[in-house]
């Protein structure tokens, strides 16, 4: 009998500080950087984002989201067999955010590690957890996406600093004889390294290179729309399903125009797409679990429905997870 990974519960966390486009534009204007609510909304669909406090690390955001997911699942942290955190903005170079979350949740012993696949990180982490559950080695897994992208933005570069926000989302997976995750699909192609990257790194006690986000927006846009359709179709084919079987599309929340183009290619109407980019901005690996938790908690997503989760990000990396909720 096949073992499936079922979502037992979801949770998310957004830092207190919320900036509308007008708030951000006013802050940027003080540094001589010009932008406007109109430009940001028209090109991206973003209206607001949250920024973490200086005292918070990705592990703090992740722990808050994890606590809510554990409560929703009705289990305690001691019942977890695995913790994976998807992040590109860890508290430290090492140890991992996952081990910090484990400790903050007051538990110890189970394996805990981070996955770094930028905006596809949650899809990668979910796929790894699913494989470990299917192998029988793990019964309950906590999978988190957590990011503080505000720390790696260049607030003098208006083409990137208006796009991102901070946050965390989490799910608890449990082994079940009922579906569950139906199919997964992962890819990467390292030749696209330079169109989206943070080139700086720690070197002999200093920083070598520029430690802020660089992006060729138009190249990213073109690539994203193509691979998001391909990976969704690949997961559907593996599960012998078609686009008509999808109840909810939960794509990485980078830009409303990328999401609309993907939905159109999958012949899905806008009301079947979960959109949180307007309120969260692009929270990288946190964006998909944040959107999932939002739509679970507001009652849109119901048990038994079929969800297509898909992401694309730096690397480039991309992938999808098709599941029955």
Known catalytic residues? Answer: 119, 252, 282
Q: Quick one: DSSP state of residue 137?
A: S
Residue 38 makes CB contacts below 8 A (sequence gap 6+) with none
Query: Under the criterion CB under 6 A, does residue 320 sit at the interface with ligand ACO?
Result: no
User: Which residues in 108-147 contact ligand ACO (CB under 6 A)?
Assistant: 119
Query: Under the criterion CB under 6 A, does residue 153 sit at the interface with ligand ACO?
Result: no
Query: Under the criterion CB under 6 A, does residue 49 sit at the interface with ligand ACO?
Result: no
> Minimum CB separation from ligand ACO for residue 159, in Å?
4
Query: Under the criterion CB under 6 A, does residue 15 sit at the interface with ligand ACO?
Result: no
Exactly one of 172, 224, 250, 309 binds ligand ACO (CB under 6 A); that residue is 224
Which residues of 21-165 form beta strands (DSSP E)?
A: 48-51, 82-86, 112-115, 140-148
The string of DSSP codes covering 219-251 is HHHHHHHHHHHHHHHHHHHHTT--GGG-SEEEE
Query: Under the criterion CB under 6 A, does residue 260 sit at the interface with ligand ACO?
Result: no
> Minimum CB separation from ligand ACO for residue 319, in Å?
12
Q: Which of 178, 76, 82, 78 is nearest to 133 (CA)?
A: 82
Query: Under the criterion CB under 6 A, does residue 44 sit at the interface with ligand ACO?
Result: yes
The residue whose Cβ lies closest to ligand ACO is 217
Exactly one of 21, 102, 146, 282 binds ligand ACO (CB under 6 A); that residue is 282
Exactly one of 236, 254, 288, 301 binds ligand ACO (CB under 6 A); that residue is 254
Q: Quick one: DSSP state of residue 37?
A: H
Exactly one of 9, 121, 313, 319 binds ligand ACO (CB under 6 A); that residue is 313
Q: CB of 293 within 8 A of CB of 95?
A: no
Query: Under the criterion CB under 6 A, does residue 150 sit at the interface with ligand ACO?
Result: no
> Minimum CB separation from ligand ACO for residue 255, in Å?
4
- 3-class SS of residue 184: strand
Is 216 exposed, middle or buried, given 0-12, 13-18 or 19+ CB atoms closer than 10 A?
middle
> Minimum CB separation from ligand ACO for residue 16, in Å?
24
Is 2 exposed, middle or buried, given 0-12, 13-18 or 19+ CB atoms closer than 10 A?
exposed
Exactly one of 163, 182, 290, 322 binds ligand ACO (CB under 6 A); that residue is 163
Query: Under the criterion CB under 6 A, does residue 35 sit at the interface with ligand ACO?
Result: yes
Place of tokens 């009998």: 1
Phi-psi map region of 292: left, alpha, beta (phi>0 left; psi -120 to 50 alpha): alpha
Place of tokens 């929270």: 283
Query: Under the criterion CB under 6 A, does residue 220 sit at the interface with ligand ACO?
Result: yes
Exactly one of 113, 155, 192, 221 binds ligand ACO (CB under 6 A); that residue is 221
Cβ burial 103-142 (10 Å sphere, 16+ → b, else e): ebbebeebbbebbbbbbbbbbbbbbbbbebbbeeebbbbb
Query: Under the criterion CB under 6 A, does residue 96 sit at the interface with ligand ACO?
Result: no
Q: Which positions lie near ligand ACO, rule CB under 6 A?
A: 35, 39-40, 43-44, 119, 158-159, 162-163, 196, 215, 217-218, 220-221, 224, 252, 254-255, 282, 312-313
């Amino acid at each position: 009998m096949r073992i499936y990974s079922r979502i037992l519960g979801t949770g998310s966390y957004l830092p207190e500080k919320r900036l509308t486009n007008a708030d951000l534009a006013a802050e940027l204007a003080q540094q001589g950087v010009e932008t406007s609510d109109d430009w940001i909304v028209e090109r991206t669909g973003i209206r607001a984002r949250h920024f973490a406090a200086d005292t918070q690390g990705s592990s703090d955001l992740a722990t808050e989201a994890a606590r809510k997911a554990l409560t929703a699942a009705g289990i305690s942290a001691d019942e977890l067999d695995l913790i994976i955190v998807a992040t590109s903005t860890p508290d430290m170079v090492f140890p991992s955010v996952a081990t910090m979350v484990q400790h903050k949740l007051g538990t110890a012993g189970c394996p805990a590690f981070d996955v770094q696949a930028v905006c596809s990180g949650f899809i990668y982490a979910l796929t790894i957890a699913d494989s470990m559950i299917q192998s029988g080695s793990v019964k309950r897994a906590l999978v988190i996406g957590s990011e503080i992208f505000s720390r790696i933005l260049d607030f003098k570069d208006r083409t990137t600093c208006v796009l991102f926000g901070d946050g965390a989302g989490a799910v608890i997976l449990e082994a079940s004889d009922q579906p569950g995750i139906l199919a997964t699909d992962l890819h990467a192609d390292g030749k696209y390294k330079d169109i989206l990257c943070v080139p700086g790194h720690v070197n002999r006690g200093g920083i070598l290179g520029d430690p802020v986000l660089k992006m060729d927006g138009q190249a990213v846009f073109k690539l994203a729309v193509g691979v998001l359709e391909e990976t969704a179709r690949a997961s559907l084919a593996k599960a012998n399903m078609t686009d008509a079987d999808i109840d909810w599309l939960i794509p990485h929340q980078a830009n409303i125009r990328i999401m609309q183009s993907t939905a159109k290619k999958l012949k899905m109407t806008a009301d079947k797409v979960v959109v949180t980019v307007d309120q969260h901005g692009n929270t990288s690996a946190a964006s998909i679990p944040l959107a999932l938790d939002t739509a679970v908690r507001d009652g849109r997503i119901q048990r038994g429905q079929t969800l297509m989760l898909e992401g694309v990000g730096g690397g480039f990396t991309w992938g999808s997870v098709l599941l029955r909720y």
